[in-house]
Each structure stands twice: as C-alpha cells, then as structure tokens.
Structure 1
C-alpha cells in the first residue's frame, strides 16, 4: 500500500484488504519506527514530498514513492522508471527526476518487500 499523505492514515478503512504481512509505504517525515508504532504494523516512511521539493522544486511525491516501491519490491528495475520518464521529459527535468529516483530508492531498505510482493503476485 502506498499512502501519498500521512494524514490519510487516520481515515477509517485505509488499510482494509491489506494482508497482515502487507507493506505500507508512507510519504512522511516521521521515522519508520514511529509510523510502525502508530499503526501497530510495519510501515516504511519516506519523505517523498521533501525530496521532490528539494530536487524538482515542486511538492509532487508520486515519482519518489514509485521509486521507493520499486526499490522495496524489485518488481521492476529503477531504470524502467527512468526510461518511462524519458518518454515525457528531457534535459534538466529528466536529470532531476533521475536524481529523485536514485535518492528515493536510497530511503528504503532495498528488496525488503521482495518475497512478500512476489508471494502475493503484486
């Protein structure tokens, strides 16, 4: 489950349907430990909006969160995300997005969800 805004964690039912061993990636400046304690299950925090502001100059967390998800699951290589962005962006904007992908991937434990993602066919 990817949560783009940590305030959504307080919405009833946001984790309904998520398996007990399912992961939660949250756009948050809190630590993963604090989020996990608040939720009563493992959660991984990533300051995606902060990264996007720093590297893109805009508060758009989606690319960073997708990069984090790919790094956690190894479902696709990060290069696939870069290639997709290259179809839309070029020059400095592509360079900034590529840097964002690289930095976002460093924010999470690589492959941490690999076995769970493949077991559930995510």
Structure 2
C-alpha cells in the first residue's frame, strides 16, 4: 500500500508509525510486524509487574499506553493499547521492540487493529 493510500484510508488494519512515514519506512515496519505476528508470544500484564520492566519505571510505561510486555527470541517487546483509536486516530494496538538487555531506542512496528491469533495476553487486572 502506498503512502497516499495509507494516509487517506479510514479502514486500515495496520498503520505506520508515524502515519505519514515514507513507503520505505512503512514497508519495513509492516514486514517487522508480520514477522512478529507469526510468533506464539505470551504477553505479561504491565499492571502485574514489579516497579520496572526492562529497566523502565512501570508508571512511565503505563503513561505511554503500555499494557503488556514479553521477551521472545532475544528481543524485548512492548504492546501498547491506545485509549483513543479508530479513524482518525490510529488502530487500537502498537508494537515496539529492542534487543533484550539493550538500552537502545525502541523500534516501532506500527499500529494494528487486531491482535495476532498466536499471541496470548494474561489478564491485566484493570
């Protein structure tokens, strides 16, 4: 899907981060999301975690809409659930990751409407 199509569609199941990203960035994000969507990830609730996750204070993470976290194949992952979602806002979910144990910046894999079938979320206690 071209940038023009992505930016002018109210029915996107997936959206780049930022929404006006170039085709090159959007294509890389979509490929990264699709790769992770095939993995059977078991997500833990951020609300059930200790005071920090991946070295970041839990309150800071929840302030960024992080609801779940996981570590899979040497990668730390954050799953955000947006309070405001649906057109004109992005789809409900956002995925970010970085190498496990790293302090590198988080890589966004875009926003998406539906959780992959292989993913399992524990109750978040909210």
> Which is richer in strand?
2
Q: Which has the higher contact order (CA 8 A, sep 6+)?
A: 2
> Which is richer in helix?
1
